[in-house]
Structure 1
Amino acid sequence: MEASVGFVAWRYLLPSTPQGLHGTWKGDRAILTWQTVDAVDEYEVFYRRPGSHDTAPWCSKSSGKSVMAEFDVHTGLPYEAYVVAKNWFGSSDRSSKINGCARAPAPTQFTVVCDPTKPLLSLKWNQVSCSVGYVIKRKSAMESDFHIITTIDSSYITQSQDTNIIYGMSYTYMAISLDRSGESDSSLSVVVCPRVPVPNHFAASTPKGLSATVLLNWQAVPNSIAYHIYRRRAEDPIYQNPILLMTLRNPNANSYLDQTVINNVKYIYTIASEDSAGVSLQSTAVVGMGALIAPNNLSAEPVHGNNCIILSWTEVAGALGYRIWRSGGQPSTEKEIGLLSHEYNTKYVDREAKHETAYNYTVQAFDKNTKYGPKSNGVKAIVSKIMPPSERQKTGQKATVPVMVDVRFGDLITENVDAIIVCLSSDELKNKILNAAGHSVSLIFASVHQRDINGCFKASGGLLPCKNIIFVPWKAPAESLDISEQSIRTFIIIALQCAQQHECQTVAFPAVGCGGLGYDVHTVAKAMVSEAYKQKKSNSQTSIEDSTIPSTWEKTSDTYNLRVNVPVNSSEGQAVLLDFHRTMTNYDSYSRIIRIERVQNERWFLQYQIHKSEFHRRLQQDTEQRLFHGCAGGESAVKSIVEYGFNRSLAGTKHGKYALLFIEFIFIPIFPYLLECFFQIGTAYGLGVYFSSKASESHNYTKLSNSISMGERYMFVCKVLVGKTTQGNASMSTCPAGYDSTGNGSTIYVIYHDVQVYAEYLIIYQ
């Protein structure tokens, strides 16, 4: 009984079992807490791994008031633990067991940074020392779930890269720690949208051997989808911000040739890349400038037996004309012998070359900004003297002197050629020529003509600048036009044969039948030129000089199409639209360019070229300007202008009669023309045809077309010879003496001679 009582007393003195055991497991540390037990000297905490048969104390606390224990654990491994309270009398019963597993904490300071030069994202985070590695997960804007892109098996590696990205796509990233149990906590997610970088090494240069061209180069950006090139003039007072010049949809492109520049004008360029999210920022600006180049492929072909050498070369883009230089002979110093004021003229005939004299020729281009461009390589030529006819007769050789037919606009009386052709049936022309040539020539004519009234004969030029006068019999038939045209061709053949017989090199023809007979000058001119070319082909030594048709013109069955579509995105189309966009100050006036047409009126173009040469000779400068003309008469008026040119007699009115311009028969036209056009532009600066350097001003005088394609407007881009201009007023029916045009002194020009303009392009827009 006493032993039993003692045991109870002893048990009563033992500490109570600890209650409320709770564990916090994190990283490589475990923290246990429990409720305080009275009369305790210390606590002992025991642990073991599940399945282990050994139990070992973690640590013990000597304070009876302690209710917490902290100790190291292996991250990612499960544990079970309990607590025992102890005093002088012994130990309490074990507390309830607690299970736990300390997991690696999430990585902190997780960042994702885009590389500015290439498709690469750099990921970084702080080290989790108790982890065994990391997992990087990602999802794109098009994905709903994360997926692993990288697994790292070391806690010391705290950075990674992602190169499998698409510019413009949004991505979400997270970093997750790994421990012995697998994936632990994840970091905060980071959203990033890598944008395509600006192309590097953007540069502008003047390409060698190319005129009116700027070469742009850059380093291609991987994974970009396009490049946008912007441009503006460096000294443009209106547009200070760059305007989109071109979009290249080739992601591998690394260069572009801008062939729409004006030589010696500075342009500022920038470039931007494009990705699926849009266009990047623009690059640092670079400056480019085109420059005239020396004409290439210069050749000199002597026409033996004549005092002439034919020069030809390759057209220089952007040139307004060419200067021809010659050295050799007396004096031997180089001098300028010719000037061609049109970019398409790439041939020149030196008619002052002396026989058996060596000459060296060079050619240089010029434009509005460059008076003297670089000279071409020199070429040498010597023209040989042909054997006299008397010597040829002795040796049995036939005369093979070539005939040079010089077709140009002018008065026969003033032509300085080897021979002028006079039609014997044209009394008015014949008498005028004889009176100007002098009495002695008239006597010779009367004597010869009396002996052979139907023959072709030659007389001296007398007081005229020409060396000879060739009289050719011809009587116009009264039958159909076809018979008349054939008769004209016969007249040309007889005249050329007679000129060749008398060793004449340059010949000037009248427009036969266009005076009192009233023949259509277009038909006559066409027949004359056509037959002259035919004779040239039949005699390889015959040379004909005429104004050169632009190489860009297109033919169908040997006939130039009057209207040819020009692609808007071509270099030619962009060049046409450059000034149109720049001077159409009110962009609300139009919404889109429908198409561009090139006007190919051979007759009109050649006549304009002749007039242009005369302007340059008279004024000693190039006064050609590219101006706009708004067409108010719709498609019918456009067709009339394209076929017949502008008619100033209708200026200031809405309707008018057809006006037919006949060139007086003492002139030598290439293609005179019918004139028709409707106007609604008023006569504030004179009764002529109005043009403007601003497309916005010409736009005000267009009106909507009534065609099926509703809303179309028509505007011509014209070459205009403004010459010497003065202030105009509404009372001027002709241009004041000493001037070639009137206007407002700034943007508007009025011309009074229809050959001063050629409609080069037609812009149809809405």
Structure 2
Amino acid sequence: GNLIKIPDSIHLLRDYMNRQNLFCACQPFQNSLTVYYFKSARFGVEESQINDIVKHKFQSKKIPLSMSLSSTKLLQKSEEFQTKIRQRLDYNKNICFSSEQDQILLFGLPEIVDELSTRFQTIKNDYEPKLFKISLKPSEIDYLLAMCRNDLKKMEKDYQSDGVDILSKLANGEIIAPLNVREKIELPISQLARTSTIQFDIQILLPVTAGNGFPFLLAKKFHCYLKTEIDTQQLPVTIPKACVDDESTNSYASTASASSSSSTSTLAVANGSINICMGDLTQEVVDVIVVCIESTKLRAAVINVAGNQVAQEFTTQSSSPQAIVTSSGTLNCKKILFLHWQPENDRTLLKQSVSRFVLEGIAYATANNYTSISFPAIGCGNFGCSIDDISQMMIDAAKQQLVKLQTNLQVSFVIFPQQQQVYDEFCKCINPKQSSIHEGVTSHIKRAMMNVFSKDGGGSQRESTPLKIMMFDKDGVIWSFESNNGWEKYSLKSTGELEDAYQFKQQWVDIINENMERCRVHFDGNMREECGQRVRQVRRVLNNQQLPDTWEQSDSKRVSLKINSSEYISILQQFNNTMTGKYTQIIKIERIQNERWWRQYAVERDEYKRKFPTLNYEKALFHGCPNDSANLIIEQCFNRSFAGANATVYGHGAYFSTQASYSHSYAKPNASNEHCMFIAKVLFIKPTTGNSSMKTPPPGFDATTDGAHIFVIYLDAQAYGEYLITYK
């Protein structure tokens, strides 16, 4: 069998028999092994002894090499492994092997064969290219293949020796890569694919062929990918009769006037629709009618029309802080849903409360398999809220839920006939040609959309076709000004004005700032805002949805904080909690701005946030180290290969502590007697007590600990060194 295929096996048999004082000769012959021996009693050799040695004292094992040979690194590691075996002192005594095109055959003592087989299997597992599923949405895969092909080709080239294949398999949500480089590839791919999706309907007056024409080319200029779906929609049109006389003309005019009180505008969203109606909420023919409990006039009117049964049901539940559900009474619906809502002075809080009101109504309808629901326009009456804000917030909330749930729900917003201005604002929100882009759309996407859809392509006017478009936003910007509290963001409106002027290479632009002051922002080498005699510094930072707002433009990965800044004071307070009286001077506190490291950490942080949204998964911990180690960490992160430099008592990983005084013992001073200590963001939710043998945490845990203040992590992306304190 396998024994005959290993020429060196006869050396093992000879050596072993000689050591056993068995005088024999071994020789391969065709497809067999011949053993010559003396039967005489003088030498004491029995045939059973030879059979026992050949069949039981040694073991052979086949290691298949059926993996892809496209990985030159795997071939290199395989050859290195074979060389080490040949260099063993006991080669041809206790172990030997032969290498064929599709397998390696090991022969020797069983314990050595098992050990080498396991070691080679580990090499295969680490370096053999395998097919992996990658966690990406279909829209993200489309974006990568359309917009990031060159980046992916470069990545394949960088890992060519590892046998990496991305492009040929990505359409199926798969990649080919060895286990040891899978994480290195998945992280940058995930970063490239981190996009925002905007879906909206638009009436367009030109033919669009997917992937061609100026809309797609222009969108590509702004790092956007357009995906189009063309829908048709039936619109009823009243055809008037010919005017015979003045009386018939007046009759038609009065009919048209009467019908305007119940006019409706409709927008298709995903599988459902949003309707803007002018009429009476109590006359709606839908499954669910929503009423705001705090709108006393509306509530009283609805209950009055619905009848005594609804009034009794409402009174019975009125003490509850939760939503109240009643029967329909005499209304043309199945249920009446009474929800709580109060206006907020702060715009952010107002948006949250309005969204919650709409989301709660839609959630009730979908949970009970209803297909239609009508809302009132809350806040637009006695509450005195901004009509354009309320309309945009309610429409946005409805859109988001319909896209998210992919339900066939019909959502209606019913406006009183006397509130024409409210009706017009709501209609603008579902008509992109009349409305501006608000929250959630960065200024360069706004500009791209306006450029793309304001052109008529040079063709003649024709009947418009509703066009559903999704745009994937990759990058945006943050404009901010320097204040006593650090860098503060401009409003969305100001940000859009600043970015537009910046992109069109204007020297300056006038804006209204947060204090309602007219000021001028200059875009020369020293970007600044001038308002009378006051001058404030201005900065523009690319926002890829990951970089912290506090980061500044700098060519260095280390940015010194100003002593009087709130950021500096906050870090110093954390340090002093356990270090007061144990140092004499703070030399400097630096913010670490390693973009590659931060993005890697942010991907891991977002994954924790997705899996454990209600848990405290991110901690601020200390890490002391010598000065030269600090430089390495800033360049290479808390690399696990450094483990063991100080201790491995609780595992072979990167060590952190909640106490700066403990980490101080590892912050060895340099020649100038200066110490270094990091304050790091560290991710974990379930640590377990560690020991010196652990190289990874046990299954079900993501860190090890001493049970008190020391924590050990094992993934490079699990921590980010946010600040470095240098002190004496």
Instruction: Tell me if TM exceeds 0.5.
Output: no
User: Whose RCO is larger (CA < 8 A, sep 6+)?
Assistant: 2
Greater C-alpha radius of gyration = 1
State the TM-score, normalized to the length of structure 2. 0.30
Q: TM-score, normalised by structure 1?
A: 0.29
